[in-house]
Structure 1
Amino acid sequence: MGRFQIVGATVLDGSGRDPEDVTVAVEDGLITEPGGSGERFDATGLTMTPGLIDAHVHLGLSSPIQPQFSFQLSAAEIAADIFATASATLDAGFTTVRDTGGIDGGVVTTIAKGKVRGPRVLSCGPVQCQTGGHGYYGAEWEPTELWNGHHIPGLAALSMMSGNANELRGNVREAFRRGASFLKLCVTGGVVSAHDKLTDTQFTVEEIAVAVQEAAARGTYVTVHAHNNEGIRNAVEAGVRCVEHGTDIDESTAALMAAHDVALVPTFAVVEHLLRDTAEAGLGESIRDRALGVRERMAEALAAAKEAEVRIGLGSDLIGPAQDRRGEELTLRADLETPMEALVAATKTNAEILGLSGEAGVIAPGLQADLVLWNGNPLENPNLFADPANAVVVVQAGRVVKDLR
């Protein structure tokens, strides 16, 4: 990959420190100490950040949702949509993502081999759901046992259904066999659901603990889709390490999460998108009604979690074909916190949540050279994050994968 030095940029290193005008050197895919030989890359007037990390993506839901799960789309079209989203994710400045359900292991390895453009992907494989719970998108009268027929081995597999703890144990082992590097369970109802309410809890503490046990046996962790406090408390009691969404987290639940070092990944962009246009994602208008009020409650939950000093990452949760403006999540979070806090959540904190501390998330010698050069200063104008055109240069593992200069 050779050696080069980026000079002239204002550097936001992801740690939360004030911007600095420093030279950043890259050699053999890693950030190294500046100086010595190598091509000089003039970035005067641009702002450098670490490559962004999205801790909640669904690459496997890149097609219109209902057509995808009613056999109206070919495997070829679904694959094309997945790879287009992966490419757009990189162009938006995201060099690492955690896929929280929808892709099967072949997508991860195909991107890693460089056969298609895309970020580094960590994946849970199919989401683990209770029978008839959130994550089941079969037609109303489709028998549960036919659901696995929607899986496309190596490409797309949204969820697996479990009726009891033994079935869950078998399903999580199958997810690991397919290449999962962590597990995700749905422990409450969801916004994009057909068979439940946001107030429902799903899986018992004992069932969730089975997944935690199986994850621990492989040196990894469980995260949970959860909106209500009872479901979150069940999951914390069972030993999970992370909560996705957390819409109704109150003061006592936030304190419980902090005491057990359970992280939170709020997801605002998906709610904005669903309120704007559910049809765009290939979903019915009833989903919009379910999303009403979620944004405001999630903002209150974020404030409660911050007050309790919960570790808070960042995830967009975008679904359907319109996943090109992933950085809107940082813009939305900047409105609720500060632009710097949004950036740190999307870099340093997300790296910690994903188990990538010391590899990615900050600009420092010895870490992977994942870097973005922005057209302007996103601390002064966080709207820059939302438009991929403002990510002028993207460097992934020391390779320039986008350059609009």
Structure 2
Amino acid sequence: MGPLQVVGAAVVDGSGRDPSDVDVTVEDGRIAQLGASGARGERLDAGGLTMTPGLIDAHVHLGLSSLIQPQFSFQISAAEIAADIFATAGATLDAGFTTVRDTGGIDGGVVTTIAKGKVRGPRVLSCGPVQCQTGGHGYYGAEWEPTELWSNHHVPGLCALSMMSGNADELRGNVREAFRRGASFLKLCVTGGVVGAHDRLTDTQFTVEEIAVAVQEAAARGTYVTVHAHNNEGIRNAVEAGVRCVEHGTDLDESTATLMAARDVALVPTFAVVERLLHDTAGMGLAESTHDRVIGVRERMTEALAVAKEAEVRIGLGSDLIGPVQDRRGEELKLRAALETPMEALVAATKTNAEILGLSGEVGVIAPGMRADLVLWNGNPLEDPELFADPANAVLVMQAGRVVKDIR
């Protein structure tokens, strides 16, 4: 296939620089050059549209695309769970997200199936099942269900929410099993969670020494550990153990943020899921008690974002959406734009997220040699960040040089 020139768009390249009116030439799945090209080939007229890099969501749960409690209690068939996962994958692409980091819930088969092009979806990096301490965040068995039966809820090659470890040796075995199943990084839960069954937000989980075992195993494979962490003590335990990233970070304080910055530990706040939990707990298939657990989290997470910015922590962007309604993934950019600026939200969702995912040489900015992951927006989302939230405004989505959505 010959070169394709995208002409007439206002190009926002993801670096934080102001938009520029520049033609973008795509060839062999990558950006060949910026500026007028003498090469003959197809022209795509993008006049009046805004081009951004393909968006990246650094915190997704494709495997939790059905009603949560019914899925965990065997009320939904594997076929329907699969259908819901693949529908979410397609909706993610349609919202302008060409790459995602799955932070728990899918097994390697989903990654492979999307990569083969058998279903529509973004490029997926996955941790496979989340690593949790016995009875900690991520365990959703019934009160009477023995821990050892929990893994029976896994559907090999499709979904595997979490694995339980009672000590460091069990954790070492479980993370090795996660890598065997295709994980490309690890995720541990080191505090209680909002969507929790047997814990509190104030709980810390795993010791520094235990977390360090996962860090050691990840380093042996040239990859890293990220952690689910809400309270400050749990965040600090994880940072001291050598993790590379913190998800949520709700109660992060100044001294811990300073330590994160010094050790180049990234933060991925997650506002969209908090909004959904506040307004539609039942629609996610969760008990009303979850709503009570989330009260106050949005305000504290907003403060943590400000603390992290002040300390110059690398801050990415993740939606953490769960349940059947995951089509408005861009809500996260809209929410972040209101707390920072639309440009800062976009950079977090492109350049910074690519760095966090270890893909900074491949995606995240519009520059020669990068993969041609591009989105054309109907309007200018830097002036009206509401545009990010509605998938209908992503009128054309290109992934590795191939148009995967075009509703111009």
Class of the TM-score when normalised by the shorter of the 2 chains = over 0.9
What's the % identity of the aligned pairs? 87
- Say whether residues 1:118 and 2:121 are aligned partners: yes
Within 2, Cα distance between the matches of 1:321 and 1:6? 35
What is aligned with 1:27?
A: 27
What is aligned with 1:332?
A: 335
Deviations 1:62-95 (A, max 9, x none): 0000000100000000000000000000000000
Amino acid at match of 1:132: G
What is aligned with 2:6?
A: 6
What is aligned with 2:18?
A: 18
Amino acid at match of 1:240: V
Q: Spell out structure 1 runs of 4+ moving beyond 3 A.
A: none
Query: Structure 1 length normalisation: TM-score?
Result: 1.00
- Say whether residues 1:194 and 2:197 are aligned partners: yes
Query: Structure 2 length normalisation: TM-score?
Result: 0.99
What is aligned with 1:264?
A: 267
Cα drift, residue 297 of structure 1: 0.2
Amino acid at match of 1:251: E
- Say whether residues 1:58 and 2:69 are aligned partners: no
- Say whether residues 1:279 and 2:286 are aligned partners: no
RMSD of Structure 2 on Structure 1 (CA): 0.5
What is aligned with 2:245?
A: 242
Cα drift, residue 327 of structure 1: 0.2
Cα drift, residue 2 of structure 1: 3.2
User: Which residues in structure 2 correspond to 1:53-132 (within 5 Å)?
Assistant: 53-132=56-135
For structure 2, the 5+ residue unaligned runs are none
Cα drift, residue 33 of structure 1: 1.4
What is aligned with 2:344?
A: 341
Among 344, 364, 367, the alignment partner of 1:364 is: 367
- What's the secondary structure of 1:60's corresponding residue? coil
Cα drift, residue 250 of structure 1: 1.0
Within 2, Cα distance between the matches of 1:77 and 1:10? 41
Amino acid at match of 2:287: G
For structure 1, the 5+ residue unaligned runs are none
What is aligned with 1:400?
A: 403
Deviations 1:300-324 (A, max 9, x none): 0000000000000000000000000
What is aligned with 1:220?
A: 223
Within 2, Cα distance between the matches of 1:38 and 1:305? 46
Amino acid at match of 2:381: P
Within 2, Cα distance between the matches of 1:11 and 1:91? 20
Deviations 1:253-294 (A, max 9, x none): 111111111000000000000101100000000000001000
Cα drift, residue 344 of structure 1: 0.1
Deviations 1:160-208 (A, max 9, x none): 0000000000000000000000000000000000101100000000000
Among 163, 175, 190, the alignment partner of 2:178 is: 175
Cα drift, residue 141 of structure 1: 1.1
Within 1, Cα distance between the matches of 2:351 and 2:294? 30
User: Which residues in structure 2 correspond to 1:383-394 (within 5 Å)?
Assistant: 383-394=386-397
Within 2, Cα distance between the matches of 1:154 and 1:12? 38
